[in-house]
Structure 1
Amino acid sequence: MNLKSNNPFFKSKSFSKAEATTVFDADGRPVEIIDFNNTMTINGAINKSLILLLLLVGSTFFIWQMAFNAVGELSPQIFPYMIGGAITGFITVLIASFKPNYSPYLAPAYAVMEGVFIGGISAFMETRYEGIVMQAVSGTFVTAAVCFLLYRFKVVKVTQQFRSVVIAATFAIFTIYMLSWIMSFFGIQAFIYNTSLVSIGFSILVIVIAALNLFLDFDLMEQGAKQRLPKYMEWFSGMALMITLVWLYVEFLRLLSKLRD
C-alpha cells in the first residue's frame, strides 16, 4: 500500500520499515525477530497525541493570560513570543522530518512552541471579534471528533483514490497561499484575504480539505502500527496530527473573521 500524506512527517523513510533484528536458524536461513515492546501501537500513538495536545493547550493558556493587561487590553509583548513560537515550531518540524528518531524530544517542543503561536494569534483575534476563539475551538474539536468516528466505524475508508485527491487538493491550496503571499510584496491583495462570497467559499473549501487530511493521519497511524514501526513513531505521528489540527483551527479563525466582517 502506498502511504502518502500532505503532512511532511509521513513522507519519512521511517514509515516504510519496522525495527527488527536478523538472526539465523539452524539451517543458516535469516529470520527477522521484531521486538514488540519497542514497536508502534495505535493506543500508544493516541496517548502521545493526547499528551501533545495537553502541552499545546497549556502553553496556549499561558500566553493568553500574558496577552491581556489589567484593563483587558492586548499587550504588545506577546507578538515577539508569537512570532518566535511560529518560527521555532517550523524549525522543529523540519528537523523531525529528517530525524524522526528525535521525535520523543522534538514533538513536545513543537507542541509548546505552537501553543505559544496559537495563544498569541487567538488573543489578537479575540480583541477584534469577541467570542471567535471559542467558536473556532468548538468547530475544530467537533470536526476532529466527527472525522475520528467516521474513520473508526469505517464510514469513510481511505482508498488510494481518496488519498490522491486529498493530497492534490492540499497541494493546490498550498500553491494558492504561496502565490498570494508573494503577490502581497507587490501590493496586490489576493481574493483569499477579502470578505467576498468567493473568499468565504474558499475558506470553507480549505476547512473541508483540512478535515479530510485527518482521515489520512488516522489511516497512517493504523498502518504504522500494522507495520510495527519503531516506538518513537508514536511521537512522530502524534506531532503530525497536531500539525493538521493547528491548520484546521487557524482556518476556522479565518472563516469566522470573514463572516464577522
Structure 2
Amino acid sequence: MQSNNPVFRNSNEFNGRATNAYGNQVYGGSGATHQGYGSDPSTWSVGTPGDTRAGTGPMTIDSVVQKTGLSLLVVLVFAFATWVLTPALGASGSTLSPAAVSQLSAAMAVGGLGAFALSMANSFKRVISPALVLAFCALEGVALGAFSKFFDYQYGGGIVIQAVIGTFAAFAGTLAAYKFFEIQVSNKFRMGVMAAVFGMIGLSLLQLVVGVFGGDLGFYGLTPLGFVFSLVGLVLGIFMLILDFDFVENGIRAGLPERESWRAAFGLTVSLVWIYTNLLRILAIIRR
C-alpha cells in the first residue's frame, strides 16, 4: 500500500514495512513474517518503530475519530484563548491601535511558522509522535485565533462562524460523497493532488519572501487573483480530505497499530485547517 502523501509515505506500516516486536517484517494486516530476527535482543521487549504487537490494539474508526476530535479541540481551545487574550480591535472601521496590531501579527507569525515547522516534522517522521501532533495543533490554534480575529474585525457579520460551518459542511459532504459514490483513489490522483499542494506552498513561501522586500504577488490579496488562488486552495483541501479518507480506510483494512490513528488525525486536521483558511478568505473577498 505505497503512499504518495508525505504524511503517510514515511509510515512503515502504511508502506508495508512494519515489523513485529522481534524485528520480523509483517505485511498489512496478515501478520505473516519472513525469516530473520532483529539483531539487538534488547529491542524485542520495548518495541521498535513499526511495532504491531496485539497489545497496542489495531487502528479503528473509533480511534481515528477520538484522536481527530482531540486534535481539533486543541486547535479550538488555543484559537479561542488567543482571541480572548489579545487586545480588542474595536468596532469595524475604527482606527487600529499599533499595540493590538503588533500582538496579533506576532501571534500569527509565531503560531504560523511554528505550526509549519511541526507540520514538516510530523509529515516526514517515520514514527508518529502524539506530543508533536498536539503541539502542532496548539500553534495552529494560536495562528488561527489571531487570523480569525483580524478577519472578524475587518468584515464582521459572523464571517468566522460562517467559515467554521462551511468547513465542517465540506467535511461532511466530502465524506458522504466518498462513501456513497465509492470514490476510488488512483496513484495519479494522489501524485497530482500532492504536487498541486506543494506548488501552492511554494508560491506562498515565494509571496512571503517577496513581501519582506515590500513586493506583492497578489496571491493573498483581496483581488480576483486572490479569489482564484483561494478557490483552487479550497478545491485542493477537499481533494486532500479524499486522500485522508482513503488512507484511513486502507489503514484500518490493513490492521495498522492504534498509534497510527494520530497520523490520520494529523492529516485530517491539516486538511480542515487548509479548507477553513481558504474559505475565510473567499468569504472576505465576496463581502468586499
Which TM-score tier does this pair reach, normalised by the shorter chain? 0.7 to 0.9
Q: Alignment partner of 2:183: what SS?
A: coil
CA contact (8 A) 1:56 1:112 kept: yes
**Which residue number corresponds to residue 278 of structure 2?**
251
**Which residue number corresponds to residue 90 of structure 1?**
116
The Cα shift of 1:118 comes to 0.7
Q: Alignment partner of 1:214: what SS?
A: helix
CA contact (8 A) 1:19 1:230 kept: no
Distance in 1 between residues matched to 2:195 and 2:21, nearest whole Å? 38
Distance in 2 between residues matched to 1:78 and 1:42, nearest whole Å? 37
The Cα shift of 1:9 comes to 1.9
Q: Alignment partner of 1:101: what SS?
A: coil
Query: More displaced, 220-229 or 43-52?
Result: 220-229
Distance in 2 between residues matched to 1:197 and 1:104, nearest whole Å? 40
CA 1:31 to 1:99, structure 2 compared with 1: closer, same or farther past 3 Å?
same
AA in 2 matched with 1:36: A
**Which residue number corresponds to residue 201 of structure 1?**
228
Q: Map 1:16-165 onto structure 2 (within 5 A).
A: 16=15, 17-22=17-22, 30=35, 35-38=53-56, 39-69=58-88, 75-76=100-101, 77-101=103-127, 103-130=129-156, 131-165=158-192
Distance in 2 between residues matched to 1:89 and 1:226, nearest whole Å? 31
Cα offsets for 1:35-92 (capped at 9, x unmatched):
3342323321221001111111111111122234496788453443333222332332
CA 1:181 to 1:92, structure 2 compared with 1: closer, same or farther past 3 Å?
closer
CA 1:154 to 1:46, structure 2 compared with 1: closer, same or farther past 3 Å?
farther
CA 1:34 to 1:168, structure 2 compared with 1: closer, same or farther past 3 Å?
closer
**Which residue number corresponds to residue 28 of structure 2?**
none
CA 1:49 to 1:204, structure 2 compared with 1: closer, same or farther past 3 Å?
same
Cα offsets for 1:155-174 (capped at 9, x unmatched):
42212232233223223323
CA contact (8 A) 1:103 1:233 kept: no
Q: 5+ residue gaps in structure 1?
A: none
Distance in 1 between residues matched to 2:209 and 2:89, nearest whole Å? 39
Root-mean-square deviation (Å): 2.9
CA contact (8 A) 1:180 1:189 kept: yes
**Which residue number corresponds to residue 11 of structure 1?**
9
Query: More displaced, 195-204 or 238-247?
Result: 195-204
Report how many residues are paired. Answer: 255
AA in 1 matched with 2:80: F
CA 1:89 to 1:37, structure 2 compared with 1: closer, same or farther past 3 Å?
same
Distance in 2 between residues matched to 1:53 and 1:40, nearest whole Å? 19
Query: More displaced, 147-156 or 103-112?
Result: 147-156
AA in 2 matched with 1:127: Y
The Cα shift of 1:220 comes to 1.1
CA 1:204 to 1:224, structure 2 compared with 1: closer, same or farther past 3 Å?
same
**Which residue number corresponds to residue 43 of structure 2?**
none
TM-score (norm: length of structure 1): 0.83
TM-score (norm: length of structure 2): 0.76
AA in 2 matched with 1:191: G
